[in-house]
Amino acid sequence: MALIDMMAELRGAVPKLAFSYTKTLINRAYKDLRRQSLWSFQLFEGQWIVPPQLASTGVATATQGSNLVNLDATATTAVNALASTQPYSLITQRQFRIASGGIYNIWGYNPTGAPGGLGQLVLDRWYGEPSVTNSQYIIFQCYLPPVVGNSPIRDFRTWISVRDMMNFIDLYTERYQMRDIDVMDPQRTWYGIPSDVVPYQDDQNPASPSYGSLLYMLWGLPTFNVNYQLYGIRFGPDLSAPTDTLPYVIGEDVVIARAKYYAYEWAEANKDLTPRATGPDFKFLMGAANKEYSDLFRKYRQMDRDRVDNWFALRTRANYAKWMAWYNSLGNSASPGYSGVQ
C-alpha cells in the first residue's frame, strides 16, 4: 500500500482530520515502530573507497588569514584529473594540508581561479599557519560519511563493523573519541594503515553531497587507495513521495493502527463541546488502536527476528581479525596478530 493510500484510510477514520496532516501522523507512527526495535530493513551494507594521497605533485601558495589556496600548473593538472580518475571521491569531500599544519576541509575548487588561470582551492576556514609560497602539500581524505548504495545517509545509528578488505582487519569503531586522538596524536601525524573509526562532526559544506551527514575520521590517516566494507544500523527514512511504500517485512496495518491512535488523540483534543453521547468516544478508540498496534507489532517483530539474528550471527566472527594473525596476498605483508598493547 502506497503512502497516499494510507493517508486516505487514516482520513476515513477521522473525517475532520486535515488530509495533509495524515502524512505527519503516519510518519510519526512509523518512527515509533522503528524506535521500538531493530528491524532487518535498518541493517545496511556499504563501502568506502579511500583515494590515494595527492602529494609531491606541484606546489601550492597559501596566505595566513585567507581561505584561498593557489595551485601551480602541475598541481592544477593533477587536481583536474581527479574527477575522471577517482570519481568515487569528490574534491569537496577531501582534505588539504601543508606539512604538520592543520587539516582543512576543501569546500570548493575553481580550476581557473588563481592568477594565470590556474586552480584555486577554497578551504572551510582561514589558513592559520604562516604564509607559504610554492610549498609542498597533500590532498587526501580522512573524513567520510556512512554510505549506502554509493550515497551518504543522514539517519545513521551505529556501526556493526568496518572492514579493511586489503589488509584483512576490522577497524575499531568504539575505542576512541576525538578527545582521545587529541591526546595521543594532537598533530595528526600518525599516517599509514588506519586502525580506528572516530566520530568527527556533521558535514558543514553545502557543496558536498554528504552535507548534514555525520562524518567519521579514519585514524591513522590513510595514505593509499583502500576499500572498506561497511556494515551498520540506520534509523530508516520517513515516507515522503505519495508512491512510497513500507519495507516488505512490516504491513501497513501496524503503522495505520498507531497512526489512528494519534488521529483519535487529535480528535479528542479538538472535539466540539457537546455531550459525549452525541459522538464517538475517542478515548476508547485510542485504547483500542493502541492495543491493535501492540498485537500487530509483536507479530511482525517475531517474523523479522530471524533475519536480524542471522545478520549478526554471520558477521561477529569477523572480529577475530582484530587479534589473530593475518596475511595480505596483494601487499605481500603479514601480521603475527594481537600483542596485547593498545
171 with 254, same domain?
Answer: no
Q: What is the pLDDT of residue 118?
A: 97
Does some domain include residue 241?
no
User: pLDDT tens digits, residue range 9-19?
Assistant: 999 999 889 99
User: pLDDT tens digits, residue range 63-89?
Assistant: 999 999 999 999 999 999 999 999 999
* Res 255 pLDDT > 60: yes
Query: Looking at this protein, which amino acid is placed at residue 337?
Result: G
Torsion of CA 51, 54, 55, 57, to 10 degrees: 150
220 with 150, same domain?
Answer: yes
149 with 135, same domain?
Answer: no
184 with 196, same domain?
Answer: yes
Mean pLDDT on 160-169: 90
Does some domain include residue 178?
yes
Strand partners, 217: 143, 198
122 with 62, same domain?
Answer: yes
* Res 317 pLDDT > 50: no
**Is pLDDT larger for residue 194 or for residue 275?**
194
147 with 231, same domain?
Answer: yes
Q: What is the pLDDT of residue 165?
A: 87
- Yes or no: say if 142 and 221 are a contact pair by the CB < 8 Å rule: yes
123 with 148, same domain?
Answer: no
Q: What is the pLDDT of residue 309?
A: 82
Mean pLDDT on 207-232: 93
Q: Which residue among 140, 160, 195 closes a domain? A: 140
308 with 268, same domain?
Answer: yes
Q: What is the pLDDT of residue 281?
A: 85
Q: What is the pLDDT of residue 287?
A: 95
Does some domain include residue 327?
no
Does some domain include residue 218?
yes
* Res 247 pLDDT > 80: yes
176 with 224, same domain?
Answer: yes
Q: Do the strands 214-219 and 221-222 form a parallel or antiparallel pair, or are they unpaired?
A: unpaired
28 with 76, same domain?
Answer: no
Does some domain include residue 332?
no
Does some domain include residue 321?
no
34 with 71, same domain?
Answer: no
* Res 47 pLDDT > 90: yes
Q: Which residue among 111, 140, 169 closes a domain? A: 140
Does some domain include residue 188?
yes
**Is pLDDT larger for residue 316 or for residue 209?**
209
- Contact residues for 98 (Cβ-Cβ < 8 A; gap 6+): 60, 62, 129, 132, 135, 136, 137, 138
Mean pLDDT on 176-183: 95
Instruction: State the residue range of the domain holding 20.
Output: 3-39+247-313
Q: Which residue among 113, 140, 167 closes a domain? A: 140
215 with 187, same domain?
Answer: yes
Instruction: Count structural domains, the chain.
Output: 3
Mean pLDDT on 140-157: 94
* High-pLDDT (> 70) share of the chain, %: 89
Does some domain include residue 342?
no
User: pLDDT tens digits, residue range 86-114?
Assistant: 999 999 999 999 999 999 999 999 999 99
